[in-house]
Structure 1
Amino acid sequence: MSKIFIVNIRERDFVDSPFLVRDKVMAMAKNGKPYMTLKLVDRTGEVEGRVWDRVDEFNDLFGKDDFIRVKGKASVYLGKMQLVVQEIERLDEDKISLADFLPVSARDAQVMAAELRQKVDSLRNPHLQALLKAFLDDVAFLQAYCKAPAAKSMHHVYLGGLLEHSLAVADLADDICRRYPDLDRDLLVAGALLHDIGKVEELRYVRTFDYTDEGKLLGHIVMGVEMIDEKLRGLENFPRPLALLLKHLLLSHHGQYEYGSPKRPKTMEAVVLNFIDDLDAKINGVRTHIEKEPDSDSAWTSYHRLYDRYFFKPQGLSESVNSSDELQERAAVMAPALSARPETKPKKMDKKPTFGFSLADQLKGKSLDLFAANPDKEDGDDR
């Protein structure tokens, strides 16, 4: 059976191809008829499938994480490609190639693995280098670290995403340390490479990306600290203060309690790691959101629920504008889209993560009197 990859589907194409079902939702239309919404994926991306007819019949055929053969017509709806499904057949795993269905990092896996070893070799602190090499010598861990995604849905959601993200954060750490040479470069780079190691056990990534039971109950931050403790027990004379600082990097890298951080950053290296981790994650997340709508002619993306905004796609501005007439024409075209934004913006939830967390936000409502008798929060109150 030939495979049509999602990235190659064009409007009005008739599609007959296998896909992996990442999600399956039954709903009721206004006329009282049931319909089904599918999230169909392969290694090149995802596409929404809509089933309007024979819904109950098809519903009994398959479930989430099954492979199915889909026949249907492609169309663009609200700027996104969609398949109107006409036929569905459940497929056994031996009839497909698993490599076709999970997205993979665009970076070469062997090149990234070589970069990882170079980063570890660059550490001058012998204790941190010994710890990192203990992880590299663990064959099972290294295979998982190079294969795992960085997240289930937020950023670097593809095989190899964890290593790609960790290397990017380590590169940013080197950049920052050149600007601020008083930082402990080896500690920060080691923290960058290890901050998400718990995700190799927090996430499942065989057919689809999901959480393990241990991941749901403990989370990758706690699991990562446990993994470091296990390796430290096999090393002689590892300085306890250094181990404490390294584990603090893992425990605080999410920055704030409401973002799942057991501790807030309390060393300069921890503050830096929090920001560069968030920076790389957000850049990848926004890029992915922009790139997932290649068939949209709009200068704006669809609404991003987590970041609570639309994003402007600047490809039009990369062209040279040679006259004021062209500038005025462009402004006239964009004005209706901009004015229409508030009317179509989905209703905000009561509590939503913000795109950034500025210093002003953190100090809002706080006492700045260092000698006050009752400070806002004592260190011992940290959870």
Structure 2
Amino acid sequence: MKKTFIKDIKEKDKVEDIFLATRKETGMSKSGKAYLNIKLMDKTGELEARIWDEADELSKNFERNDFVKIRGYAVVYQGGVQLNISDIAKIGNDAIAITDFLPTSSREPDEMMEKLESIIAGIKNNHIRKLLTAFLEDREIKNLLKLAPAAKSMHHPYLGGLLEHVLSLCKLIHNVTEHYQNIDKDLLLAGAILHDIGKLYELKFERAFDYSDEGRLLGHITIGISMIDKKLEAIPEFPEETAILLKHMLLSHHGYLEFGSPKRPKTVEAVILYYLDDMDSKIQSMQALIEKEKEVDSKWTSYHKLYDRYIYKGRYQGENETVDKNNKVELELFKK
């Protein structure tokens, strides 16, 4: 059972535990001596590590993305904690629990799946409900859906993240369809539930999050369309127009050609799905960054490369004074 987690490792700690080795590179010191540059990971974060002695010999003990048992000593290097490893060896999968090593949704997967099943059961359109039920009756798809992240790193990048994202969209759709009239709620829900279904096979998440060969060559939109077509083969009475409208939502849910969508949204439901999907992914990733840096003594996060900006997070934890309304926060927002 894993006892030491990366977030708890401090300078001068002696560490002996199991981690996931997500990087393994050979370097050369100034003296011409080979060393190993390693990145270790568990569900709480990542940690830089080095093997300075016997690097060539110890390198034979493991490969990238292996679970490894290490023995090392924590030091401070360039302002952060780094582990100097003296021993390392590969560990079999039967000795680990994957949820100790990959970040995981705070919600229980079975609870989320029950919620999704309830949403599908409430869909009035018999054809759409039958199609969605066919997906969940596929045991492989159902099990993968309970595990899959929504993305490798951009948003909901943790086990169960895709299902969490889908449920968030379904909740938003409920609110949107109460506000706007003449929206096909059942079609919109189906689009939300299936828009990223191809990520079950685009991504690999047995160890580190990465792309499969199929994912790199085809992408999740193409894979998702193929999955829908396969399920529709068993439902010959499914209306052709409904199938086209549903597949259009998958093809257009990235909004623009330059963002990977073969088509731009051309129905009201497709437009709604695009904006809700984009909003949910961005809000989650921004809030995750704010949460990650909540202990940092700054009102701003570090620079976010994806959004090309700093994110204002408000007063940092531990600051007790009342905000001075004249402190020119508005000016700072524009400066950043």
Q: TM-score, normalised by structure 1?
A: 0.77
Aligned counterparts of 1:46 and 1:209: Cα–Cα separation in 2: 13
1:142 CA displacement: 0.9
Where 2:235 maps in the other structure, the secondary structure is: coil
Where 1:314 maps in the other structure, the secondary structure is: coil
**Aligned equivalent of 2:73:** 72
**Aligned equivalent of 1:185:** 185
* 1:24-43 superposed matches below 5 A: 24-27=24-27, 36-43=36-43
* Structure 2 unmatched ranges of 5 or more: none
**Aligned equivalent of 2:238:** 238
Amino acid at match of 2:6: I
**Aligned equivalent of 2:154:** 154
1:254 CA displacement: 0.8
**Aligned equivalent of 2:46:** 47
Question: Does 2:60 match 1:84?
Answer: no
Aligned counterparts of 1:11 and 1:38: Cα–Cα separation in 2: 18
Residues 318 and 238 of structure 1: CA distance in aligned 2, closer, same or farther (over 3 Å): farther
Where 1:188 maps in the other structure, the secondary structure is: helix
Is the Cα–Cα contact under 8 Å of residues 166 and 192 in structure 1 kept in the other structure?
A: yes
Where 1:187 maps in the other structure, the secondary structure is: helix
Residues 52 and 312 of structure 1: CA distance in aligned 2, closer, same or farther (over 3 Å): farther
**Aligned equivalent of 1:212:** 212
Query: After superposition, what is the alpha-carbon deviation per residue over 1:130-158, rounded to whole angstroms, capped at 9, x for unaligned?
Result: 11111121122111111111111211111
1:38 CA displacement: 3.0
Is the Cα–Cα contact under 8 Å of residues 296 and 316 in structure 2 kept in the other structure?
A: no
| Residue range with higher mean Cα deviation, 147-156 or 9-18 | 9-18
Query: After superposition, what is the alpha-carbon deviation per residue over 1:239-258, rounded to whole angstroms, capped at 9, x for unaligned?
Result: 11111000000000011111
How many residues are paired up? Answer: 331
**Aligned equivalent of 1:22:** 22
1:87 CA displacement: 2.1
Residues 318 and 297 of structure 1: CA distance in aligned 2, closer, same or farther (over 3 Å): closer
Where 1:196 maps in the other structure, the secondary structure is: coil
Amino acid at match of 1:282: K
Residues 195 and 59 of structure 1: CA distance in aligned 2, closer, same or farther (over 3 Å): same
Amino acid at match of 1:73: A
**Aligned equivalent of 2:290:** 290
**Aligned equivalent of 1:365:** none
Is the Cα–Cα contact under 8 Å of residues 11 and 76 in structure 1 kept in the other structure?
A: no
Aligned counterparts of 1:34 and 1:306: Cα–Cα separation in 2: 35
Aligned counterparts of 2:298 and 2:193: Cα–Cα separation in 1: 38
Question: Does 2:271 match 1:271?
Answer: yes
Query: After superposition, what is the alpha-carbon deviation per residue over 1:299-333, rounded to whole angstroms, capped at 9, x for unaligned?
Result: 33222222222223324389764485xx78xx59x
Amino acid at match of 2:92: E
Amino acid at match of 2:224: G
Amino acid at match of 2:52: D
| Residue range with higher mean Cα deviation, 145-154 or 187-196 | 145-154
Query: After superposition, what is the alpha-carbon deviation per residue over 1:338-373, rounded to whole angstroms, capped at 9, x for unaligned?
Result: 79x98xxxxxxxxxxxxxxxxxxxxxxxxxxxxxxx
Residues 220 and 34 of structure 1: CA distance in aligned 2, closer, same or farther (over 3 Å): same
Is the Cα–Cα contact under 8 Å of residues 36 and 55 in structure 2 kept in the other structure?
A: no
Residues 83 and 210 of structure 1: CA distance in aligned 2, closer, same or farther (over 3 Å): same
Amino acid at match of 1:85: N
Query: After superposition, what is the alpha-carbon deviation per residue over 1:159-212, rounded to whole angstroms, capped at 9, x for unaligned?
Result: 111111111111111111111122111111110001011111111111121111
* Structure 1 unmatched ranges of 5 or more: 343-383
| Residue range with higher mean Cα deviation, 296-305 or 218-227 | 296-305
Aligned counterparts of 1:143 and 1:194: Cα–Cα separation in 2: 15
Amino acid at match of 2:96: S
Is the Cα–Cα contact under 8 Å of residues 19 and 101 in structure 2 kept in the other structure?
A: yes
Residues 279 and 38 of structure 1: CA distance in aligned 2, closer, same or farther (over 3 Å): farther
1:37 CA displacement: 4.1
1:14 CA displacement: 3.6
Is the Cα–Cα contact under 8 Å of residues 19 and 40 in structure 1 kept in the other structure?
A: yes
* 1:129-148 superposed matches below 5 A: 129-148=129-148
Question: Does 2:309 match 1:309?
Answer: yes
Percent identity (aligned): 42
1:59 CA displacement: 4.3
1:77 CA displacement: 5.2
**Aligned equivalent of 2:121:** 121
Aligned counterparts of 2:34 and 2:290: Cα–Cα separation in 1: 32
**Aligned equivalent of 1:169:** 169
Residues 3 and 320 of structure 1: CA distance in aligned 2, closer, same or farther (over 3 Å): closer
Where 2:299 maps in the other structure, the secondary structure is: coil
Query: After superposition, what is the alpha-carbon deviation per residue over 1:102-130, rounded to whole angstroms, capped at 9, x for unaligned?
Result: 22211011210111011101211111111
Is the Cα–Cα contact under 8 Å of residues 9 and 74 in structure 1 kept in the other structure?
A: no
Residues 55 and 117 of structure 1: CA distance in aligned 2, closer, same or farther (over 3 Å): same
Where 2:107 maps in the other structure, the secondary structure is: coil
Where 2:316 maps in the other structure, the secondary structure is: helix
1:10 CA displacement: 4.0
